[in-house]
Amino acid sequence: MSDEPHFLKQATADESETKAMRIARKSATEATLEPLQLGQRVRAIRLSQNLTLEEASKRTGLARSTLSKIENEQISPTFSAVNKLVHGLGIDIPQLFAQPRTGASAGGRRDITRKGEGKPHPTPTYEHELLATQLTQKKMVPFRTRVHTRTFDEFDEWIRHEGEEFLYVLSGEILFYTEFYEPVTLNEGDSAYYDCTMGHALVSTSEQDAEVLWVTA
Amino acid sequence: MSDEPHFLKQATADESETKAMRIARKSATEATLEPLQLGQRVRAIRLSQNLTLEEASKRTGLARSTLSKIENEQISPTFSAVNKLVHGLGIDIPQLFAQPRTGASAGGRRDITRKGEGKPHPTPTYEHELLATQLTQKKMVPFRTRVHTRTFDEFDEWIRHEGEEFLYVLSGEILFYTEFYEPVTLNEGDSAYYDCTMGHALVSTSEQDAEVLWVTA
DNA sequence: AACAAATATTTCTTATAGGAAACAAGAGCA
DNA sequence: TGCTCTTGTTTCCTATAAGAAATATTTGTT
């Protein structure tokens, strides 16, 4: 993992950011990751369940007016509000943060992802490359992951979430830790299927980072 | 800021077992109070990347003070703030919203399939090797397939069934035919996600049989 | 210890989210 | 037509998140 460039630190005169810079930075970041129309998605989900704002309000514990404003993208809900939404209505989590992109027509959907052209999503422990991100509303979420963890200590807690997961080792050797089993070594071509509610974690035991294919449902 | 004095860089299975158990116990007890400790997680991630609040601030575009408050759970960040966090630092999405389910309720199923040890299922066109066959009642059905079809003529009709399918090319080159699209060439590392109700078929265009990984849901 | 530099927290202000209620638009129905 | 019920939007006010700057804390060095 690359460190923060040090040359940033020795700037003394440049330390103070001009207002112009700040504004530029602000609009830059917001431009790149703001097109996240949460509202549209919430409305679509609510309507698909034939719920009125009032009913959705009851389920989520959010005021009718608040829901309306969220759906019309007049406000950016707080984390706790999003949580209520997610749990109140059943919202597909991974999709929430994925870029929507204009999906194909309803009938025969198809999405091709070329090697290395998925959507990168690095984390401290894994380096994910999300596949088939053009399609939303999928049953499965596929991604290719580079495991650069080398010791189990690098995890501060189990990874644990809803659903089931299929794992296939593309290259390298990994140690597959699970909460209720002995850790097991997996080599290229080996695979595993498991309950995600059970804590799990991967560690690369090979020279290079191991690469795995993961599919969650 | 030097690295943590981890004297043993390679964790043996035994040492990790200890840690694994500790974590298991910890998360089990914490499950009682579950106000979704986003802050703790953010802090853990930031520190694991050896970032200061200032550096994290630069990456995320959030004020230093805001980050501090989020980490100390003094505020509930807005959705857009969470987004900046998620993208700025790499945060594992499903983790964020997943209820910290206690391990107790978790049906911890797991099934390992070694390379080549799946259940063979040959057909005239494909040679499937079903994976994770020990487990029943799965949401997904994963299998590794050797494609020895060489021309599209060998299919007398479209393959078509319920559900969605994810396809990943392990080796060789294939031509991916679908009912509503032009056929497309896929090479090793490419992948596709599609509606199975749409007719589909694979043909190997490489010297040897191509190999693909398939997951159906 | 004393100091300086780096890092984190708190305070204060402004911007904005959330909720209650008013308002608007529409759909029956007498 | 007027009335009422339902649903979604808007207004207004309060609660609270976000940012800037001040303050506190930690860390490293002599």
Q: How confident is the model at residue A8 (pLDDT cuts 50, 70, 90)?
A: very low
pLDDT above 80 (res B44): no
Contacts of residue A165, Cβ cutoff 8 Å, sequence gap at least 6: A193, A194, A195, A196, A200, A214, A215, A216, A217
| DSSP category for residue A197 | T
The reply to whether residue B27 touches residue A131, judged by beta carbons under 8 angstroms, is no
Chain B residue with Cα closest to A168 = B213
Residues 71-90, chain A, CB closer than 7 Å to nucleic strand D:
71-72, 74, 78
pLDDT above 50 (res A214): yes
CA atom of B197 to C1′ atom of D21, Å: 61
Q: What is the mean pLDDT of chain B?
A: 76
Report phi then psi at A196, rounded to 5: -75, -15
Asked if residue A99 lies in contact with residue B171, where contact means CB atoms within 8 angstroms, the answer is no
CA atom of B63 to C1′ atom of C14, Å: 14
- The tokens for A105 are 């027509």
CA atom of A11 to C1′ atom of C4, Å: 18
Nearest to B92 by CA among A3, A181, A143, A132: A143
Q: Which of B80, B81, B178 sits opposite A108 (nearest CB)?
A: B178
The reply to whether residue A78 touches residue B80, judged by beta carbons under 8 angstroms, is no
Asked if residue B202 lies in contact with residue B149, where contact means CB atoms within 8 angstroms, the answer is yes
Q: Is B78 within 7 A of strand C by CB distance?
A: yes
pLDDT digits (tens, 9 = 90+) for B50-107: 888 888 899 888 998 999 999 888 888 988 888 888 878 777 655 555 544 444 444 6
Mean pLDDT value across residues A171-177: 94
Q: What is the mean pLDDT of chain A?
A: 75
Chain A residue with Cα closest to B6 = A153
d(CA A159, CA A147): 14
Whose tokens are 């060489």? That residue is B150
Give the CA-trace dihedral at B118, B213, B145, B149, to 10 degrees. 180
A positions 96-155 inside 8 Å of B (CB) = 96-97, 107-116, 121-124, 126, 131-132, 135, 138-140, 142, 144, 150-155
**What's the pTM?**
0.62
The reply to whether residue A124 touches residue B49, judged by beta carbons under 8 angstroms, is yes
Helix, strand or coil, per DSSP, at residue A42? helix
Q: How confident is the model at residue A142 (pLDDT cuts 50, 70, 90)?
A: very high
pLDDT of residue A18: 34
pLDDT digits (tens, 9 = 90+) for A180-200: 888 999 999 999 999 888 889
AA letter at B70: I
Q: Is A60 within 7 A of strand C by CB distance?
A: no
pLDDT of residue A15: 32
d(CA B127, CA B146): 5
